[in-house]
């Protein structure tokens, strides 16, 4: 093999090793969890803690009514659901009210929150929901998630381990009916979930995912409360960092929850994952810079564009096969009862969409979220988009 052939093969080979390591670590940890720690065997030691599920809601997410129904079937003896909306005119209000009326056996109530209480609109809701909550354990649950009956027992089985202060769930996308939703759910299952699990397994860094998080109320107060992350975009990961800094273990619950994505467009998917890419760039800039090497298909594509030879095409086919296999196995582990063929088939398109989001993260610091426009600074600190100059102000 001459130097030209080596230059063609080496980048994709290196990327393939990185990719295989991440996927293997993910598959191994999920499989080990299912063999060693079945959640059905867990029972809380001593008194069962009362759990308050905090649900900040903004608009009608895909499958909202069905998502809420899953929380009426929880196999846990003492919990409440505290819903929050920032406006009585929110289109989700009738759906929430219908759920509460249909399930008098569930302790649930709807609260009006103050959108001006925090720069981060989700945290502004959480501040009021925490005040209204009665439980000693707080669970943050987004409106677009659907859960199994053992959801709370699964979370608490991790939270009750010695030293654990914060737990978040592995997320899998389900319900796809449009191309945008297919790509979105493929991204969640083929890239996000393996990356989150591998970060904890290989690098010892548990990434907190705000779609589903559990913590004790007393521990939250010790780390500064929700107020401490009211000014950042990545409030979930920054909250996890605060727990770690205070000596708590931040852990993952490996029983997946479903993020329902059914009818989203490709544009919405690109917008959301560009925002997430900008957060990753701000939180872990060095890791983010080499993120493309997590995808051998992308590296092989770039190599083929730069050096369109037969060997480069062979490497692309190898990378496509490897990445399709990795996607199939990851989705089979996360969605064992669902058809995953469409999600595997769009792996080349998903890779291109993800690369677009990665490139776009370097274009500017502006993000749009929940009807608000912001600039993000160090640590994902938020600045209203009408005052970008304050990004340079140390006071922020």
pLDDT at 388: 40
Average pLDDT of span 12-23: 97
Q: Is the pLDDT of residue 148 over 80?
A: yes
Q: Which two tokens stand for residue 170?
A: 């592995």
Task: Tell which residue, 284, 322, 71, has the closest CA to residue 196.
Answer: 284
Please give the distance of CA 291 from its chain centroid, rounded to a whole number: 17
More confident residue, 121 or 203: 121
Q: Among 29-38, 144-153, 183-192, 209-218, where is mean pLDDT lowest?
A: 29-38
Q: CA-CA distance, 118 to 174, in Å (whole number)?
A: 31
Measure the CA dihedral 212/335/351/323, to 10°.
130
Sign of CA dihedral 80, 86, 88, 93: negative
Asked whether the beta carbons of 153 and 231 are under 8 A apart, the reply is: no
Of the pLDDT bands very low, low, confident and very high (cuts 50, 70, 90), residue 38 is low
Sheet with 366-369, side-by-side order of all strands: 366-369, 372-376, 382-384
Q: How far is CA 22 from the centre of its chain?
A: 17
Q: Above 70 in pLDDT, residue 30?
A: yes
pTM for this one? Answer: 0.91
Q: Is the pLDDT of residue 85 over 70?
A: yes
The residues, ordered by sequence, that sit 6+ positions from 276 with a Cβ below 8 Å of its Cβ are 357
Q: How far apart are CA 272 and CA 171, in angstroms?
A: 15
- The separation between the first and the last C-alpha atoms of the chain, rounded to the nearest angstrom, is 55
pLDDT greater at residue 135 or residue 207:
135
Computed over every residue of the chain, the mean pLDDT equals 91
Cα separation of 254 and 29, whole Å? 9
Which helix (H) or strand (E) segment holds residue 253: the answer is: strand 249-260
Q: 42 falls in which pLDDT band (50, 70, 90)?
A: low
Lookup: tokens for 152: 């709370």
User: Which residue bears the tokens 């000014």?
Assistant: 231
Cα–Cα distances in angstroms (integers) from residue 347 to residues 26, 269, 290, 325, 373, in the given order = 18, 15, 20, 10, 31
Q: What is the arithmetic mean of pLDDT over 241-257?
A: 95
Distance in angstroms (rounded) separating the CA atoms of residues 158 and 153: 9
* Band (387; pLDDT cuts 50, 70, 90): very low
pLDDT in tens, 306-345: 999 999 999 999 999 999 999 999 999 999 989 999 999 9
Helix intervals (H) in the chain: 3-36, 64-70, 93-102, 121-132, 151-159, 179-187, 193-202, 217-222, 235-245, 266-283, 285-289, 296-306, 310-334, 341-345, 347-360
List pLDDT tens digits, range 272-311.
999 999 999 999 999 999 999 999 999 999 999 999 999 9
Confidence of residue 243 (pLDDT cuts 50, 70, 90): very high
Strand partners, 141: 212
């Amino acid at each position: 093999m001459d130097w030209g052939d080596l230059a063609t093969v080496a980048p994709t080979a290196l990327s393939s090793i990185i990719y295989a390591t991440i996927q293997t670590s993910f598959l191994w940890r999920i499989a080990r969890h299912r063999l060693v720690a079945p959640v059905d065997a867990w029972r809380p030691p001593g008194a069962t803690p009362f759990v308050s599920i905090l649900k900040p809601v903004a608009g009608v997410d895909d499958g909202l009514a069905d998502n809420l129904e899953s929380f009426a079937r929880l196999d846990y003896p003492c919990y409440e659901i505290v819903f929050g909306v920032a406006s009585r005119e929110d289109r989700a209000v009738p759906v929430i009210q219908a759920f509460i009326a249909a399930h008098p056996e569930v302790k649930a109530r709807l609260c009006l929150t103050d959108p001006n209480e925090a720069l981060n609109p989700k945290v502004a809701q959480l501040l009021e929901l925490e005040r209204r909550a009665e439980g000693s354990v707080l669970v943050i649950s987004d409106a677009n998630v659907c859960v199994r009956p053992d959801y709370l027992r699964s979370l608490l089985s991790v939270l009750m381990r010695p030293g654990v202060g914060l737990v978040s769930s592995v997320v899998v996308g389900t319900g796809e009916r449009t191309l945008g939703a297919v790509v979105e759910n493929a991204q969640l299952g083929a890239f996000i979930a393996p990356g989150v699990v591998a970060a904890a397994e290989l690098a010892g860094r548990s990434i907190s995912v705000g779609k589903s998080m559990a913590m004790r109320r007393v521990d939250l107060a010790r780390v500064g409360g929700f107020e401490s992350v009211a000014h950042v975009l990545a409030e979930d990961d920054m909250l996890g960092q605060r727990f770690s800094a205070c000596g708590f273990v931040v852990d993952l619950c490996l029983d997946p929850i479903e993020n329902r994505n059914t009818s989203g467009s490709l544009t919405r998917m690109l917008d959301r994952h560009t925002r997430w890419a900008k957060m990753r760039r701000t939180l872990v800039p060095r890791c983010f810079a080499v993120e493309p090497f997590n995808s051998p298909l992308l590296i092989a594509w770039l190599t083929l564009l730069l050096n369109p030879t037969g060997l480069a095409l062979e490497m692309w086919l190898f990378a496509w096969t490897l990445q399709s296999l990795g996607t199939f196995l990851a989705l089979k582990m996360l969605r064992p009862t669902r058809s995953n063929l469409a999600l595997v088939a769009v792996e080349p398109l998903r890779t291109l969409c993800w690369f677009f989001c990665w490139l776009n993260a370097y274009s500017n610091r502006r993000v749009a979220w929940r009807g608000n426009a912001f600039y993000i600074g160090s640590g994902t600190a938020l600045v209203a988009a009408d005052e970008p100059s304050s990004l340079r102000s140390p006071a922020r």
